[in-house]
Structure 1
Amino acid sequence: MAKQTSVDEDLDSSLSYQEKFESTDHIFSSSIRKLSDYVSDCIVVLDTNVLLIPYTLRNEDVAEIEKVYQTLSQKKQLFLPKHVAREFAANKDKKLAELYKTVCDRNVTVLKLPDAAILKDTPEFKELERERRKLEKASETYNGAVKKLAKNIKEWSWNDPVVQMYSKFFNSENIVHHEKNDNYVKSELERRNKHKIAPGYKDSGKDSNAAGDLIVWLTILNIGENHKKNLIFVSEDRKPDWWNQSNGAAFSPKFELITEYKRASSGKELSLLIFSEFLEAFNVSEQVVEDIKKSEEEFRIKRIERNKLNRRPRSLILRELERSGKDIYHCQVCGFESGENNILEIHHIEPLSQGGDDNVSNIAILCPNCHRSMHSRI
């Protein structure tokens, strides 16, 4: 039998629909235009993770990306939320540090030959020793070049080539912020967390920058309200509070996001794209797009590995769930009661393989049968 809900919980659930879909005007009458219909005359907003990608790319790739940004900038179609600029400032040195380590790790060491008397008088050993000396001399030259490059990276500070590129396109005119005050942002974050309204409610358990997604979203809405234009938001994140999920992956943007932007922009379209999709839409060469896809895959793998390292023991997660008011003794699907020998399992709503984490908002408590059934549908 399904778990019984209280009247208050049932009312909250119904009110959440009302909060998510404030207006019903677009539900049956909304016609969404194809991206190809408006890509040449839309606003493009970039997320922090997209700004950081060029630190991992070839010069040829960056040059092609720069051409796209230049075209958008000249047509006044390129925008950056101030919060994104600040996140970039907080994270770009980490990218340089990773690059510095990668270069330093390229130092080579020429191993000494075995000190065995029976080998030293053989012609083969003498030949090998001559070749080793040549290799050692070449390695000294090579390691010297590695050291110079590493020193160059260390001296870049805030003047690295990526920042130099962005300085051509971003300024006080297109680095923008929403017009809401801090009290509004705080109350709006609480409202969205309570009713699980996109975006940002999945960040409610984060230790820092929990309001980041909402601040960026409010800026996007503000851009739409001021410019009344179709908009592309380019981000490597495909979180379940922004995207509907299917088969363990992002399927489509949340309808409430699309309609909220339509209301703010007087009926204009919103598209959410990852960087490779964005570049494809702007006809960048296949080679560059493939390089970006490889970088995106590396980003995804690193995020999964980071989440695995950050996973907490089951007992700690259950304790936090209980403190937050969640029932950890009944399956959230069928209502099965586990009793003292708690055999219920932790299910990640956004899978760890998709970047999900152990935040309370991303966890459901399920019995083994419902857990298996849930994963068979993913």
Structure 2
Amino acid sequence: MANNNEIAPSISDASVNVAELLAEDYVIVCDTNVYLGLYRFSPDYANFALDCLRAVQAHVMIPYTVKIEYNKHQRSEFKLRQDKLENSIIEGTMTSIDKQQKSLKNIFATLSTRQFPGADEFQSEIDEKYDELKTMLTDYFADRSVLSLIHDSWTDDVVKAFVESLVDGNQIMQDFTRDMIYAICEEGKKRYDKKVPPGYKDAKNKDGVRKYSDLILWKEIIQFAKEKQKNIIFVTDDVKPDWWNTENDKYEFLPQLVQEFAKDTKIRQSANNGVAGPSMKIVPFVSADFYDAISDSMNVPKPNVVEQALKITDKDYINMIEYQAFDSIYENLVYSGFQYVDESTLTYVGSEGIGDWEIVEHELSSFKRVEHYDDQITYELIYDVEMSSYSCDYLGRDDDSKDVIVSPDYRHGVTGQLTISVVRTVDMFMDFEDSSDFDSSEIVSGDFIESSYKSRFADEDDDNYVPGAYTTCPDCTRGINTENDGGNGFCVECAPNH
């Protein structure tokens, strides 16, 4: 476990000793998505995460912007959580009944095949009983709160209670005046045009002041750290590239943000009787690493299911879907692969154009998580791919049959990289050990260059080479020229067979 002197301040690191940081008077600041994320976890994980937050509650400050955003979405998130819990119980029960009914149907099908008397009538009676059972259960669930049937302590909104306790304890940052907010928005316009983090990724999806909510939050944190001379532990699950780099399976807080924080929290000589103050430090986390770090350094126990969930990393998930993801775009690549090929690298393409591509080989090279918004995660998977295809020239038409005459094939081989985007919904009741589903996939980009080229015209060493061939015999596949043309598109040896 790292001590404070070993902390790399820009990496989300679950081995950081949070207890040591708090002993040095660090203050914890959580983004809105951290609090709202508690509603989307499974009950066991959510309770574990709340235990972690309660363990450090005395050191938490809530930005005013976070309070406003949380209050705006809290009620809908809590209701969505209730609905998911109820639907999970109902769907699970109905699925169990359907499996039993299907199993019995298979048994009765065997009895009917063996001519057992009354087997079909007995099966019909059983089906009626199962239909009655499903109706009874549907009515039962409709009349009662299913939340009281499961081992979940959230009969009340415990996240709301936690946030309200922070506000009641005056653990909330000073809000900005309206003029200050307008000034930040004006600054945001210039920053976003230059893609200066944080928040510029929200420019297309939000409007008005909401567009600049990330920047306002960032300014709140900096102002608080400077005025109170406090180092900050910042926790956010916004993993878009205007907060984090996500290369090499690590979350690296953007260096520009670390530098801006240090620069803007430093007390200048002119404001401190000629004595410059130190720059404050910021230690960033994504919430999973943060909870893990608290658990290890402050002895917050993890239930077994939480241990299991924490072990299921992005890499585990990608390993499960790497072939499935490629298969999902396979047909698109076969028919549309030419758009990703650098035509300037091709030796020659026949007048009839490139045919469909054959995927010779593909292998996953790398991946990265590019976005985590609400309960959806977007990954980009990069594959090394080898493809081949053919082209040919139009030579005319046969005088008798009027069939199109084309040249022998030109064979094209290309290699390069293909990037596929995969969108995954993280459901609170997902099976972490078999989570191989994704919502959508598409080709983001491709970059292929020619790696091989072969012209049958030039390949005189080929045993099947026929000088001056203008088409190919469909039976023996040898080239056809004026000397061995048997008519009707066949060579002289195969023509008699037709």
Bin of the TM-score, shorter chain as denominator length = 0.5 to 0.7
Question: Is the 2:237–2:286 Cα contact (8 Å) retained in structure 1?
Answer: yes
In the superposition, relative to structure 1, how do residues 151 and 143 fare at CA in structure 2: closer, same or farther (>3 Å)?
A: farther
Give the % identical residues.
21
Question: Is the 2:246–2:370 Cα contact (8 Å) retained in structure 1?
Answer: no
More helix by share: 1
- Deviation by residue 1:249-295 (Cα, 9 ceiling, x = unmatched): 66421222112222416322212211110011112445465466489
Q: Which amino acid aligns with 1:133?
A: K
Which residue of the partner structure matches residue 44 of structure 1?
Answer: 28
Which protein has greater RCO, CA pairs closer than 8 Å, 6+ apart? 1
Task: Return the offset for 1:200.
Answer: 1.6
- Taking only aligned residues, the RMSD between alpha carbons, in angstroms, comes to 4.7
Task: Return the offset for 1:218.
Answer: 0.9
Cα distance in 1 for residues equivalent to 2:261 and 2:34: 21
Q: Secondary structure at the match of 2:144?
A: helix
Cα distance in 2 for residues equivalent to 1:60 and 1:257: 34
Which residue of the partner structure matches residue 293 of structure 2?
Answer: 281
Structure 1 segment 349-368 matched on structure 2, within 5 A: 354-355=370-371
Task: Return the offset for 1:63.
Answer: 3.6
More strand by share: 2
Q: Secondary structure at the match of 2:211?
A: coil
Question: Is the 1:243–1:252 Cα contact (8 Å) retained in structure 2?
Answer: yes
Structure 1 segment 230-249 matched on structure 2, within 5 A: 230-246=231-247
Q: Which amino acid aligns with 1:96?
A: K
Structure 1 segment 329-344 matched on structure 2, within 5 A: none
Which residue of the partner structure matches residue 55 of structure 1?
Answer: 39
Q: Secondary structure at the match of 1:271?
A: strand
Q: Which amino acid aligns with 1:254?
A: L
Based on CA coordinates, which of the two structures has the bigger radius of gyration? 2
Which residue of the partner structure matches residue 140 of structure 2?
Answer: 144
Cα distance in 2 for residues equivalent to 1:296 and 1:215: 31
Structure 1 segment 10-159 matched on structure 2, within 5 A: 35-36=16-17, 38-40=21-23, 41-73=25-57, 75=58, 77-92=59-74, 93-94=76-77, 96-97=79-80, 99-100=82-83, 103-104=86-87, 106=90, 108=94, 122=118, 126=122, 129=125, 133=129, 136-137=132-133, 140-141=136-137, 144-145=140-141, 147-149=143-145
Which residue of the partner structure matches residue 259 of structure 1?
Answer: 259
Cα distance in 1 for residues equivalent to 2:39 and 2:128: 36
Q: Which amino acid aligns with 1:216?
A: L
Q: Secondary structure at the match of 2:54?
A: helix
Which residue of the partner structure matches residue 359 of structure 2?
Answer: none
Task: Return the offset for 1:189.
Answer: 0.7
Work out the number of aligned pairs and report it: 279
- Deviation by residue 1:35-62 (Cα, 9 ceiling, x = unmatched): 4352544211111221122223344444
Task: Return the offset for 1:177.
Answer: 4.2
- Deviation by residue 1:70-113 (Cα, 9 ceiling, x = unmatched): 3322x3x1012222222222323045236415624625387899
Calculate the TM-score normalised by the size of structure 2: 0.45
More divergent stretch after superposition (218-227 vs 159-168) = 159-168
Q: Secondary structure at the match of 1:212?
A: helix
**Contiguous gaps of at least 5 residues in structure 1:** 1-29, 153-157, 302-350, 358-368
Does residue 160 of structure 1 match 2:143? no
**Contiguous gaps of at least 5 residues in structure 2:** 10-15, 149-154, 267-277, 319-366, 374-414, 420-444, 448-498
Question: Is the 1:240–1:250 Cα contact (8 Å) retained in structure 2?
Answer: no
Give the counterpart of 1:269 among 278, 281, 302.
281
Question: Is the 1:245–1:251 Cα contact (8 Å) retained in structure 2?
Answer: yes
Calculate the TM-score normalised by the size of structure 1: 0.57
Q: Which amino acid aligns with 1:260?
A: E
Which residue of the partner structure matches residue 322 of structure 2?
Answer: none
Question: Is the 2:36–2:77 Cα contact (8 Å) retained in structure 1?
Answer: no
